[in-house]
Structure 1
Amino acid sequence: MRREQLQPTALIAVSIVAGTVGWSGHVLLLPLAFAFPVLWALARTRAMSAFVSTGYFLAASRGLPQGVANFYSSDLWPGLLLLLCASAGFVIVHTVLWTKRKGARPCRYLLAAGLMAIPPFGITGWAHPITAAGVLFPGWGWWGLVAATAGLIGLVTRMWPAVAIVLAGFWICSAATWDDPNLPESWQGVDLEMGASLGRDASIERHRDLIVTVKDRASGGARTIVLPESALGFWTPTVERLWVRALQGTDTTVIAGAADVDAGGYDNVLIAISGAGAQIVYRERMPVPGSMWQPWRSVLGASGGARAHFFENPVAAVADSRIAPLICYEQLIVWPVLQSMLHDPDVIVAVGNGWWTKGTSIVAIQRVSVEAWARLFAKSLVLSFNT
């Protein structure tokens, strides 16, 4: 193979490895995503930068086709089509902003990273390398974010070998001293294994089973108990009365996912319930595009679909604590967690209903992403997932 063919082939191969291993669901491997800006900068042509970007993003998102097939009980083709559509934003941004002028690359890459962190491109901005900031600089907070951003910029300059060595040093030190985020005292997240029935089985028996689970955890000393996304199904006055009555006479607070439905569509929400009453404390800022958030429906005059509350309610007050809620898809993208951190919450509460991800690493990636953010900002973390 000629040299001019070997270099592009090697760049694409390494980008696939970086996307696959960096986003494998192991938190200490996240910094491998920092290889992407190096590969992007080493591309000799705009077309090659497109291939590098495509290889990295598709490898990092490899679980999507299988997840879509599970969700819709179909073959892999719809998921593959969705994956290609989702990758378009990432590839277009990094291809358009690539330049031969080495002096302009740092600013170009900074712009690309910024665009992929906020809407509209940030809506599909998962696999963002900046997520690894919490592994490289745990506890540094906003300074850690600045340091990680500076590292990403340095990796697209001629000084990238020296920058890579420095970042590797921080990575090794972090790995040697790594601690998982702490669980707040008297809080507990409940993981369930109810599959696709969670949120779809609206029977009284299902709610009573969940109430028994909550009371069992409360008997062990937990006072604030978190249940997964969709745990309560449709939020109705009947469901509210059932849960409030069940918690009367206790000092237990339950935070659980539900769907708040009206004539125009629905909100994916978190409900805080105690013996004194219940209230919606959070409406999801970014539901899953396509399967939940379907903005084209309103353009076509149709109702239905989940609403996106992009920059609303970044924090909520629950049980004498300020929480940063993140539901499912929000754990994979950048701006929701950073917006919440601007308000200095006490606890990050991350919930999901990942039954449809069976056979993929999607839930594992969600967990490590939010764990990395919690470590960056030194926040307590409560996780609750259904599989």
Structure 2
Amino acid sequence: MCRDYLRPVLLIFASIAVGVVGWSGYMLLLPVALGFPVLWSIAQTRSVAALVSAGYFLAASRGLPQGVAAFYSSDIWPGLLLWLCASLSFVTVHTVFWTINARTRPFRYFLAVVVMSIPPFGITGWAHPVTAAGVLFPGWGWWGLGLMTTGLAGLVTRIWPAVAIALTGFWLWSAATWTDPKIPDGWRGVDLELGVSLGREAGLQRQRDMIATVRGAATDSARFVALPESALGFWTPTVERVWTGALRDGAATVIAGAALLDAGGYDNVLVAIDRKGGRILYRERMPVPGSMWQPWRSWFGESGGTRADFFTNPVVAVGASRAAPLICYEQLIVWPILQSMLHDPDFIIAVGNGWWTEGTSIVAIQRAAATAWAKLFAKPLVIAFNT
């Protein structure tokens, strides 16, 4: 009787360990997440598979309660509620697709992988093991993604030890030869440490400080400067005039985060500014569900919240190049980057405003995920974060 309880308990604790280590924010530890499909497959009942899935996902997203509490300046309970609600889609999908039938299990896990990669379930598809493809198969592109998906399906078969050994070999080789993605020629990403004030202090002095930061970063070799999400605050004609005037005597182009407000809500955007003026470069496809994207407001005739542009503008033109932008939350899920890669951009721009994540590994995980995707598709990467 004791053994009957011991095995499920060990599986659950192992799944928690896999979630904690794999999603610690350390790039080369991402492949630890591949332990999840193994643990899911050797669960002997559907209920144990559900608990294994919950343990993995909750451990991987463990920074959410603290981050939400900081974001709303509240106690931990709203964060805990959101944390548990967000896990429901992951747990539900993996519980529904679990089977004791070893012959159909790989196909069913493959379906779970796909379902958690695309909307609607992919909207909360964090901690997806496929993200590790960039660590195991850097530069392999779509072939690497295919091999990763095949490997994930292989990890739920009876020959999973052989598959695990093969994937570990790729992992060790990659770790031994690892180099970070290069920065595209002529670009510079600027990290800021302005905390909660970024995007909330909208005065002229803050804009002047940002302009001084850009001037310090822009050189003859770096004509494009990327600033973090929300760097400009609200995008207005006045802000555009201030920046255009400041850039009039130079050749620099600034890519910066801002909010575009109207009566119905706002768009989280990237703006491109040079001496000729400013333009909306990119509208975020998937804002943070709950805290930013609140679609239920429209159901009750209310306005507010951030609009989700879903499958629009996956690639944008910047100068003579084409970039794949990822704003904050988009770096944690799968479908935005894959949609962008279908258009074969020249590089990736990843920006974020992570002041609310202090004391958690969320920003480190975002950076690791963006870097992994850039390595998989051999794309240069520009990163700009505020903490």
* TM superposition score category, shorter chain reference: over 0.9
Shift of 1:2: 2.1
Q: Distance in 1 between matches of 2:114 and 2:286?
A: 18
Report sequence identity in percent.
70
Which residue matches 2:304? 304
The number of aligned residues is: 387
Give how far 1:199 is off. Answer: 0.4
Counting only pairs closer than 5 Å after superposition, residues 164-203 of structure 1 correspond to structure 2 as 164-203=164-203
Distance in structure 2 (CA, Å) of the matches to 1:30 and 1:297: 36
Q: CA deviation at 1:249?
A: 2.1
For residues 128-163 of structure 1, give each alpha carbon's deviation from its aligned partner in whole angstroms, at most 9, with x where no partner exists.
000000000000000000000000000000110000
C-alpha displacement of 1:3: 1.8
Alpha-carbon separation, structure 1, partners of 2:211 and 2:72: 30
Deviation string, structure 1 residues 29-77 (Cα, Å, up to 9, x no partner): 0000000100000000000000000000000000000000111111111
What does 1:373-384 correspond to in 2, within 5 Å?
A: 373-384=373-384
Q: Are positions 1:55 and 2:61 aligned together?
A: no
Structure-1 residue corresponding to 2:11: 11
Partner residue of 1:32?
Answer: 32
CA offsets 1:6-25 (integer angstroms, 9 cap, x no match):
21111111100000000000
Following TM superposition, by how much is the alpha carbon of 1:171 offset from its aligned partner in structure 2, in angstroms? 0.3
- Superposition map of 1:230-269 within 5 A: 230-269=230-269
Q: Do the aligned residues in 2 keep the contact of 1:64 with 1:83 (CA within 8 Å)?
A: yes
Question: Does the alignment pair 1:2 with 2:2?
Answer: yes
Superimposed CA distance per residue, residues 190-213 of structure 1 (whole angstroms, 9 cap, x where no aligned partner)? 000101110010000000000001
Q: Secondary structure of the equivalent of 1:267?
A: strand
Structure 1 segments (4+ residues) deviating >4 Å:
none
Q: Distance in 1 between matches of 2:52 and 2:172?
A: 27
**Unaligned segments of structure 1, at least 5 residues:** none
Does 2:285 match 1:285?
yes
- Give the C-alpha shift of residue 277 in structure 1: 1.5
> Is it true that 1:273 corresponds to 2:265 in the alignment?
no
- The answer as to 2:77 corresponding to 1:90 is no
Tell me the amino acid that sits aligned with residue 212 of structure 2. Answer: V
2:347 counterpart of 1:351: no
Does structure 1 residue 223 correspond to structure 2 residue 223? yes
Q: Deviations over 1:83-139 (max 9, x none)?
A: 000000000000011111111101110111111000000000000000000000000
Map 1:105-120 onto structure 2 (within 5 A). Answer: 105-120=105-120
Determine the C-alpha separation between the residues in 2 that align with 1:27 and 1:302. Answer: 42
Per-residue Cα deviation, 1:174-200 (whole angstroms, up to 9, x for no partner): 000000000112200000010111001
Q: CA deviation at 1:321?
A: 1.2
Q: How does 1:117-132 map to 2 (within 5 A)?
A: 117-132=117-132
Verify: 1:43 aligned to 2:43, yes or no: yes
1:220–1:355 distance in 2 versus 1, CA, 3 Å: farther
What corresponds to 1:159 in structure 2? Answer: 159
SS at match of 2:246: helix
SS of the residue corresponding to residue 95 of structure 1 reads helix
SS of the residue corresponding to residue 255 of structure 1 reads: strand
TM (normalized to structure 1)?
Answer: 0.99
1:22 match: 22
Q: Distance in 2 between matches of 1:133 and 1:2?
A: 39
Residues 315 and 340 of structure 1 are in contact (CA less than 8 Å); yes or no, is this contact kept in structure 2?
Answer: yes
**Quick one: distance in 2 between partners of 1:322 and 1:23?**
30
Q: Specify the SS of the correspondent of 2:271.
A: strand
2:209 corresponds in structure 1 to: 209
CA contact (8 A) 1:224 1:319 kept: no
Does the Cα contact within 8 Å between 1:325 and 1:348 map onto a contact in 2? yes
Aligned to 1:385: 385
The aligned residue for residue 316 of structure 1 is 316
For residues 73 and 50 of structure 1, what CA distance do their matches in structure 2 show? 32
Q: SS at the partner of 1:102?
A: coil
Deviation per CA, 1:346-385, whole angstroms, max 9, x where unpaired?
Answer: 1100000000000000000000000000000000000000
14-23 vs 72-81, greater mean Cα deviation: 72-81
TM-score, length basis structure 2: 0.99
TM-fit CA distance, 1:221: 3.5
The Cα of 1:219 is off from its aligned counterpart by: 3.7
Structure 2 distance, partners of 1:268, 1:255, is 13
Instruction: Give the equivalent residue in structure 2 for 1:101.
Output: 101
* Aligned residue type for 1:164: A
Aligned match of 2:143? 143
Match of 2:338 in 1: 338
Tell whether the 8 Å contact from 1:229 to 1:352 is kept in structure 2 after alignment: yes
Report the 3-state secondary structure (helix = DSSP H, G, I; strand = E; otherwise coil) of the residue aligned with 2:191: coil
Tell me, in whole angstroms, the C-alpha distance in 2 between the residues paired with 1:13 and 1:87: 17
CA distance in 1, matches of 2:19, 2:5: 22
Q: Counterparts of 2:113 and 2:185 in 1: how far apart (Å)?
A: 36
Paired residue secondary structure (2:218): helix
Distance in 2 (alpha carbons) for counterparts of 1:31 and 1:218: 37
Q: Distance in 2 between matches of 1:77 and 1:159?
A: 43
Alpha-carbon distance in 1 for matches of 2:82, 2:65: 8
CA distance in 1, matches of 2:332, 2:301: 30
Supply the distance in 2 between the matched residues of 1:175 and 1:165 (Cα, whole angstroms). Answer: 15
